[in-house]
Every structure is written in structure tokens, then in C-alpha cells.
Amino acid sequence: MRLKSIKLSGFKSFVDSTRIPFPTNLSAIVGPNGCGKSNTIDAVRWVMGESSAKHLRGESKTDVIFNGSNSRKPVSQCNVELVFDNSDHTLRGEFAAYNEVSIRRRVTRDGDSSYFLNGTKCRRKDVTDLFLGTGLGPRSYSIIEQGMISRLIESKPEELRVYIEEAAGISRYKERRRETENRMRRTHENLERLTDIREELDRQLQHLHRQAQSAEKYKKLKQEERTTKAQLSALRWQRLNNEVSEHELAISELETKYESFVTQQRHIDTEMEVVREQHHEASEAFNQVQERFYQLGNEIARFEQTIAHRQEQSAQLLQDIQDAERVLHEASIESQSDNELVEEKRETLEFLEPEIEAAAEKSEQLTEQLTELEEKQAQWQTRWDAFNQNAQGPKRQAEVAQSRIQHLERVLDQYHRRQETLHQERQQIEANPESEVLTQLIEESEMLDDKAEQVQAQLEELTQRQHQYRELVEQKRSELEQAKNQLQQKSARHSTVKALIKASMAEESEGVQNWLSSHQLREAKRLAQDLQVEAGWEQAVEMVLGGSLQAIQVDNIAELPDALARFKDGELALIDRGNSGAATADTLLTKVTSSTDLSGWLGSVYLAENLQQALDKRATLKAGESLITPEGIWLGANWLRMRSGEDSQNGLLSLQQELETLEELVDELEVAEEDLSVDLDAVQLQLKTIENEREQRQAEFQQLSREQAEVKAQLSGKRVQAEELKARKARLDQDIEELEAQMLEEREALAMTREELQQSLDSMEDDVEEREALLAAREQSRIAIDEQRDLVRQARDAQHQLQLKQQQLQSEVNSFQTSLERAKNQKNRAAERVEKLKAQLQQKDDPDDDIQLELEAKLEQRVELEGQLGEKRIVVETADAKMRDMEQSRHSLDQQAMTVRSELEQSRMAAQAVMTRRTTLQEQLQEQQYDLATVLETLPEEANEADWEAALERLAAQVQRLGPINLAAIEEYQTQSERKRYLDEQDQDLQRALEVLENAIRKIDKETRTRFKETFDKINAGLKELFPKVFGGGHAYLEMTSEDLLDTGVAIMARPPGKKNSTIHLLSGGEKALTAIALVFSIFRLNPAPFCMLDEVDAPLDDANVGRYAKLVEAMSEHVQFIYITHNKGAMEMAHQLMGVTMNEPGVSRLVSVNVEEAAELAAM
């Protein structure tokens, strides 16, 4: 893999879009100082995930954006894209299949940073993960700056050790060790905190245990009290139930008695109905007889009247005739007398008319005088009313003032009492200690808030760490699973190869195996197990040796003649151990290393690179000589042997070689699996520790939250109370102020009202004399009016008498005239009547005898009916008497029934009251979740209310003696006990975790020592190799300052050509730089990255040293792509591609193509 190009836009001085291609393995970037050359290296480091502004030569992460110049405005964002050629598939994972991979990073002025892989937005972690195992990274050895060389030069032994550790990859072990130590420290801290918590919890549990016991006893007593109350209620219900039964029995008796009275009433009503019917019948019979009696009487009366009428008519006619004649005579006399009276009355009327006129004139004069007096009286009344109205004002004012004074005095008295009450309440509020409690609660709340904030921050940190460690656990578990799968695959292959080898070596017959066993040769090493063949020639050796590879190595075949004589069955191959002599060049023997002499088999077999070369050399072969190719094609002067297919691939030596490789790989995988397992255990343990700590923090946070809620609730309540008290105090102050103002106003009003009262009283005294004068005037006026009224009345009476007399005389005249007219008419009618009556009298005859006979018959019938009527009257009177007796009895029964009914209603009301009380008790039992029947069943027979009430009082006294009870202590005790058990388990887990962490540290230390020693030796070997190349001779090596591989420092000992051995600090500047370069390249060669960037590392070197430095870089460029920044012409000449960076426009970098001469001139600017 190699870096193909860099695309920059808006990055530092590269404001315009710029593409820097790298087509070769040696590319140099040149340019004058300050033109922006190093920005290209910063761009690569930035895209690879560098987040530190200091390592990018800035102060903030937005400093990488072009910030403007004299002629350019700042830009809002910058982009850098790295394009990699991945045709060799160096990158792993999902991007392994891509021949070209681009990585782009963009940042804006808002601080928004984005990464893109092949145009797809990704995370920074995805970018760093992409380069894992490649040696690339923002701070890896693939980017070597002059500062790194300087730091190496000036490094102390302890600081130089850090570079060795980084090269060895120990940093992750140190990080793991540091994390493990931190875990141990935190675990110790957790243990200490846990111990403190457990001790405090023990004390709390002891206190809570006592409280819980009291609470349990309280609950037991309260339960017993509830049961006793229920039983007492049941006893009361039972008593009330008995009372209800008694009332029901009494009600039943009263109802029976009442029904008895009702029955008697109904019986009397029935009898009265019968008597009433008899009375009705008797009355009807009496009425019928009476009606006939009356009819008969009417008939008799009619007959008698008819007879009498006829007699009366005759007598009347005679009388009428006499009367009419008398009337006629009297009318004549009366007419004469009336005429005389009329004349007298008319004369009297003539005399009365002047008197009446005089009386009228006098009455009119007196009336006018009365009117004048009444007008004077009206004027006086007006003056009097005005006076009264004027005099009434001061009086009303005095009365109003008096009432107002009384009212104001009462109001002032009320205000005084109200003022005293307000002052007392204000003093109580000022003396209230709630303000101190509120201050304490505020301080406690603030303390809890701070503590909760700290715990929440710790909780958030632990949560974040928990997520990180969970991801790490999943990652480690995945890596472990992959390692296990890989180990399983390799182990399976190892077992297969081992089985194939064993099968190949165990093809002897049973006789051979028995012979080998009997001579202790069954476990002897075979020839194939003793061979080490150069890679690539395994098939050739197998072709030549063939079945001899299974030959059993013995010390000396000559010592086994007797044993060989006893060999009877099968095929046996033995070979003597012994070193082979010098191998002839270009023979197969040179490709084999063995403790057995194989020159007889392999010493005459010559090597050929391929079949064609072997065929060409075949003519040169001597007798017994042959040729063989790496593919196992074996040919002699006139023969050829070869093998193809699986047989060529599964030869014994190939399998043996694969077995050795697999054994090493399996060992490595087992170590890796063990490391991963330990890592996973450690991470899981740390995760559990974090989770435990998080649970503790969570519980602590919840407890703090509860305490906060309680304190805030109390604080809120106290604040409300304080606000209410403050508001109340303000209202009191306002009320007192308003009250004092009102009292002042009322006092002023009282003084003014008293003044008004005095003025009104003074005015009332002034009105007394005027009142008396007016009253005297009124009295005189009244007397005069009364006298005048009497005179008017007398005049009017006289006038009226005269008028009455006149009217009477006129009426008498009129009456006499009417009488005269009526008398005249009466005389005429009387004369006519006399004549008529005389005529009628002559027509009347005597009564008939038939009417007299009928009358006598009717009289006889009436006598008979009178007897019947008397009998019927007796029957009716008897029925009336009987009905009166029955009604009296009915009334007596009604009175008795009403009395019984009243008693019945009272009994029912009493029963209803008892039933209501009984129902109330039953409902109370149901509310208390007690079943009445069950409670009654549990009651002993001798139970009574008095004993149960006494028992209830005893229980109440026992509860009272317990004092304040914390009912939450039971649940809290259980909760804290559970927490104590949980904390005990955590303590055990933390103790076990400490053991695991200590074991992990021991293993990390062991691995660190091993890796550090191996890396130190490799780097030391590389330094010994590279130092003479850059110095043209001399010697350099690394030296440990102590024997402890965990803490030892590292010193560089160098001896340039012609000088004595010394530390690097005693060398010249150029020698220091060359030595540091040799050391850096030694470190770089341990894990070479696909490309390496060098930033003016040759600056301290002279031309000769630059030449050697350039040769070293050129030699290494065969495998590694180098991109370097230089000012040195010799380094420029080494480059296969030169690129120049200029800043013709101030503050803006541009890329130009240059040759070596131009580059030298450009660099010298």
C-alpha cells in the first residue's frame, strides 16, 4: 500500500484546491522557509485522526482553516483527502477488496468535524481502526519530524526507554497496567468506601433493628387493638341486635293490640251500619206515614178552607160594602179639611221667604269672616312649619351627632382592641423560629444539590465508562472468539497433519512393529523428523529419499546383527546417526541439515532451477549423478521421475514442515488466546467493578434524590410558611398602619361631631322663645276661629231650619193637594165598589153538603194516621238512641287505638334508631375489612363489652407507652439488610477482583519484560547495522541502565569512526543527528509502515553525512514509500520526484513542479 495523492482545500495556507501526487517511492517537497511545506505533513497527520491542536502547531482545532491574508478573506471550512493505492490489499476488513481507498476529513468554523471513507461519512474511530496493524497513525513512526530527532538526541535514559516501549507495543501493556493499577486503586478506594458504608450500615441496622422491633410490636399491638375494636363493635352489634329483637317483639305486641282495636272498630262500624240501615228504614216508614198524615191534613184543611172561604166570602162582601160606604163618607169629609189646610200652608210660605233671605245673607257674612280667620291660621301654620323645619335641623343634627359620637366611640374601642390583637400577632411572627429552620434547610438543600451534582457527574462518567467497557468486552469477546476459531482451525489442521505424518510413519507391518517394540526402537526418531530442509526444496528431498524418510535412526547398525537376524517379516529401514561431511556445491545435500550423513543419497543429486535447465545439464551427468528441480522432477542421464497432484503436496517433509509451522502458530495462538482471555477477564472484572460502583453511585444518587425531595418538600413548605408569615407580617403592618390612620380619622371625626352637637344644642336653646310666641298666636287664632265657626254654624242652622220649614210647608201643600186628588179618586172607586159588591152578594149561595161529608171522612182517617205516626216515631227514636250509644263506643275505641298507635310509632322509631346504630357498626367493620359473622364466631361465650373496653384501654396505654414509632423502619431495615448483604457480596467480589488484578499485573509485568527485551535486542541489532552505514564505519549500541527490565533506562553508546566509545550526549550536533536517525530507522524497521514522511530530518547534517543518509533512505525505499521535506541539494538529487511549494501571494501556498537546480535555488530563498 502506498500514498497516491493528497488533496487540500482551505487547509492552513493551502486556501485553493491543491492536489499533490506521489507516483514514486521517493518524493521530495522543497521550498523556502515559511512557505507551508510542513503543512502537507500536518494535513496527513490531521486526516489520520490527530485531535491535538498543539501537534498541528495551533491553539484550537479550527486553526487549521485558512484564516485569511491581506488579499484573501477567511474561508468557512477546510478539506483534506488522502488517496491510497491498496492494490496489494494491505488494508484489512471491508476495504481489503478496494484497490483505491480515500480518506477525507472536513472541519468548519463551528467546530463540526467529519470523516469520510470512500465518500461515506464515518467516525474517527473507523479511520484509526482502518490503519491498525499497518504502522500508520497520527503519531506513529511513519511521520518523523526534526523535533523527534531533537527529542531523541536530548532524551534521558528514562525518556529514551519510552521510544523503545512504543516500538515494542508495551505502551498498551503499560496502559493496561496503569488501568489495572487504577482499577486496583479504585478497588481499594471502593473497598474503603464499602467498608465505611458497611460499618455505617451496621450502626444504622442496629438502630433500625431496635426501631423495627418497636414498630413490629406497635403493629402487633395496633393489630390487636384493631381486632379488639372489631370484637367490641361486634359485641355492641350483638347488644343492639338483641335490642332490635326486643323492640320488634314489643312492636309485634302493639301491632296485635292495635289490630284488636281496629277489629272492634270494624265490628262496631258493621253494627252501626245495620242500625243505621234500620234507622233509615224506620225514618222512611215514619216519613211515609207522616207524609200521608200531612197529605190528609192538607185535604182536610182544603175542605175546611173551602167551606170557610165560602162563608168568609159572603161575610166579607157585606163588610166590604160597609167599608166602601164608610170610605166614601170619610173621603168627602177629608177632602173638605184638606182644602182648608192647603190655604193656611200657602199663607205661611209667603211669610217665610223674607226670613230665609235674611238668614242667608247673615250666614254668608259670617262665612267670609271665618275664611279670613282661617287664612290667618294658614299663614300662622306656614310660619310654624318654617319654624319647625328650621328648628328641626339642629335637633336632627344633635340626634345624628349624638348617635355618631356613640358610634365613633364604639368604633374607636373596637380599633383599640384590634390594634392590640395585631401587635400581639406581629410579635408572635417576629418571635417565630421558622426562619432559622428555613436557613438550615436551604443550606442542607444546597449541600445535597452539590453532592447530588457530584454523584451525578460520577454516575455519568461511570455510565460512559460502562458503555466503553461493554464495547471493549464485546470487542475482546469477538477477538477471543476469532482467536479461538483460528486456534481451533489450526489445531484441527495440526491434528490432521500430525495424523498424516503418523500414518505415513506407521505403515510398517505388525512384525516390524513388534520387532521395533522388542528392541526399544518404537519411539526412535525417524529420518524425516531429523531433517531441516530449505524452504522450497521439500518435494525434491522427498522425491530422492522416498521411503527412506521413514528410516529409523540408530546409533550403529553394526551393533544390531543379532537383532536383525531375528527380523522375519516385513520391510525395515535403519540409518546410522552421524554428521555428514562437506557438501558439494549445487547438490541437494546443501539444502538439507541433519544429524545423519545423507551424502550417499543426496551428495550426487545436483540442483536445477527448472525442468528445462535440468534437461540442458543432463548431458554433463556422470555415472551415479542426477538432477532435481524444486518441484521434485528427478532425472538421470537416461531416466526421469516426477510426482504430481496431492502426493506432491502431502509429502512427509512438507507435512513435517507444515507441522512445525502449525506448532509455532498454535503456540502463538494459544498465548494470544490466553492473553485475550486474561484481557477479557480483566475487562469484565473492571466492567463489573464499574457496574458495582455505578450501582453504588446510583443508589447513593437515588438516596440523595429522596433526601433532596424530602428537604425540598420541607423547604418548599417552610418557604410557603415563611412567605405566608412574611406576607402576613406585611399585611399586619399595613393593617396596623391603616388602623392607626383610621383611628386618627375617627378621633378627628369624633371631635368635629362633638362640636356640631354643641352648636346644635345652642341653636335649639335660641328657638324656645320663638316657639312659645308662635304657640300663643296659634291659641288666639284657634279661639277666634272656633267662635266664628260657632256663629257660622248657628247662622247656617237658622237658615237651614227656615229652609227646612219652607220645604216642609211646601211638601205639606203638595201632599194635601195629592191627598185631595187621591180622595176624589177614592170616592169614585168606593161608589163603584159598593155597587159591585152588592151585585156579588146577591149571587152567593150556601156550602154544599157533599163537601161536609168528605170532610168528616178525612177527619176519621187523620185520627188513625196519628196513631201510626206515634208508633213510627218511637221506632225512630229507639234507633237514634242505639246509634248514639254505638258512636260513643266507636269514639272510645278511637281514643284507645290512637294511644296504641302512638306507642307503636314510638317503638318503631326506637327500633329504627337501634337498627341504624347496628348498621353503622356493621359498616365500620366492613370498612375495617372484618366479617361480622367471623368476628362473632371467634368471640368467647363469656365476652362482654365492659371487659373488651377495658382491654382496649390497656392496649391504647401500651401503644402510648411505646412513644414515637417509625413504621418505615421495618421496610427500611429489610432494605438496608438486603443492601448489607449486597455490599458484603460486593466486598467479596472486590477482594476476588483484587486477586485477579494482582495476577493480571504480574502477567503484564512478565509480558512487558519479555517484549521489552526482545524489542530492545532487535532495535540494538538494527542500530548496530545502520550506524556504520550512516557513519561509514564505527560502532553504536543500546545499553540498559539497570537490570530491572520494568524500570531500566536506555542509553545510546556510540563510537564514530576514529573516536572513543561515549554516550550520544558527548557527540557533535551532526553526529547526534546521524545517531538519532539510525536509531529512528532501526525502530521504524521493526514495524515498517507503507510510507514514511520525513520533515527536514537532514537539516543538521553536512553534505557528506547527507549523502550517507540519502543512500540509506534510497535503500529502504525499495520496500517503503518515502515523502520528505528537505533543503539539501544532495537529498533533492536522490528524489525520483520533486515538488516545490511557493508563497508568491503572501499567506497562500501553491504547488509548482521543479528540477533539482530550481529546487536548490527555491530552497535557498
* pLDDT digit string, tens, across residues 550-588: 677 776 777 677 677 667 666 667 776 766 556 677 887
Q: Is the pLDDT score of 646 beyond 60?
A: no
To the question of whether residue 34 is assigned a binding role by annotation, the answer is: yes
Confidence of residue 939 (pLDDT cuts 50, 70, 90): confident
To the question of whether residue 1033 is assigned a binding role by annotation, the answer is: no
Domain layout of the chain by residue ranges: 505-653
Question: What are 290-343's pLDDT values in tens digits?
Answer: 777 777 777 777 777 777 666 666 666 667 666 666 766 766 776 667 677 777
Q: What percent of the chain has pLDDT over 70?
A: 80
Q: Is the pLDDT score of 353 beyond 60?
A: yes
DSSP string spanning 656-722? HHHHHHHHHHHHHHHHHHHHHHHHHHHHHHHHHHHHHHHHHHHHHHHHHHHHHHHHHHHHHHHHHHH
Cell of 769: 322663645
737 CA to centre of own chain? 48
The predicted pLDDT at position 649 comes to 47
Confidence of residue 926 (pLDDT cuts 50, 70, 90): confident
Phi, psi of 718 (to 5 degrees): -65, -40
To the question of whether residue 37 is assigned a binding role by annotation, the answer is: yes
Cα distance between residue 400 and residue 414, in whole Å: 21
Q: Is the pLDDT score of 501 beyond 80?
A: no
Q: Is the pLDDT score of 1134 beyond 80?
A: yes
> Is 425 within 8 Å of 732 (Cβ atoms)?
yes
Amino acid (1-letter code) at residue 455:
V
User: Which of 67-76, 135-144, 722-731, 814-823 is the most confident on average?
Assistant: 67-76
Amino acid (1-letter code) at residue 232:
L
Cα distance between residue 516 and residue 172, in whole Å: 53
Cα distance between residue 1034 and residue 189, in whole Å: 55
3-state secondary structure of 626: strand
Q: Which residue has the cell 527536514?
A: 1096
Confidence of residue 648 (pLDDT cuts 50, 70, 90): very low
3-state secondary structure of 122: strand
The predicted pLDDT at position 373 comes to 78
Cα distance between residue 118 and residue 127, in whole Å: 11
**What is residue 1055's DSSP assignment?**
E
Cell of 82: 488522502
pLDDT-wise least confident of 176-185, 512-521, 1156-1165: 1156-1165
Mean pLDDT, the chain, integer = 78
User: Which of 137-146, 191-200, 672-681, 814-823 is the most confident on average?
Assistant: 191-200
The predicted pLDDT at position 115 comes to 92
Cα distance between residue 140 and residue 163, in whole Å: 11
Cα distance between residue 766 and residue 776, in whole Å: 17
Cα distance between residue 33 and residue 31, in whole Å: 7
18 forms beta bridges with 8
To the question of whether residue 39 is assigned a binding role by annotation, the answer is: yes
Amino acid (1-letter code) at residue 1163:
A
The predicted pLDDT at position 729 comes to 76
Q: Is the pLDDT score of 678 beyond 60?
A: yes
> Is 1096 within 8 Å of 9 (Cβ atoms)?
no
1141 forms beta bridges with 1151
CA atoms within 13 A on the CB side of 445: 16
The predicted pLDDT at position 389 comes to 67
- Would strands 552-554 and 1148-1153 be described as parallel, antiparallel, or unpaired? unpaired
> Is 893 within 8 Å of 267 (Cβ atoms)?
no
Whole-Å CA distances, 928 to 56, 226, 227, 290, 304: 79, 8, 10, 85, 104
Taking every pair of C-alpha atoms in the chain, what is the biggest distance, in angstroms? Answer: 231
> Is 580 within 8 Å of 599 (Cβ atoms)?
yes
> Is 86 within 8 Å of 100 (Cβ atoms)?
yes
Cα distance between residue 608 and residue 612, in whole Å: 8
3-state secondary structure of 342: helix
**Which of the pair, 87 or 190, is modelled with greater confidence?**
87
pTM, full prediction? 0.38
Whole-Å CA distances, 637 to 617, 618, 625, 627, 640: 9, 6, 8, 9, 9
Confidence of residue 105 (pLDDT cuts 50, 70, 90): very high
Cα distance between residue 191 and residue 983, in whole Å: 10
Q: Is the pLDDT score of 1133 beyond 50?
A: yes
To the question of whether residue 35 is assigned a binding role by annotation, the answer is: yes
To the question of whether residue 38 is assigned a binding role by annotation, the answer is: yes
**Which of the pair, 667 or 213, is modelled with greater confidence?**
213
Q: How many residues does the chain have?
A: 1165
Cα distance between residue 771 and residue 764, in whole Å: 10
Question: What are 198-231's pLDDT values in tens digits?
Answer: 787 788 788 778 878 888 888 888 788 888 888 8
To the question of whether residue 36 is assigned a binding role by annotation, the answer is: yes
Sheet holding 1035-1040, edge to edge: 1035-1040, 1050-1055, 1062-1063
14 forms beta bridges with 11
Question: What are 403-440's pLDDT values in tens digits?
Answer: 678 777 877 887 788 788 778 777 777 776 656 666 77
Amino acid (1-letter code) at residue 631:
E
Cα distance between residue 369 and residue 795, in whole Å: 13
Amino acid (1-letter code) at residue 193:
R
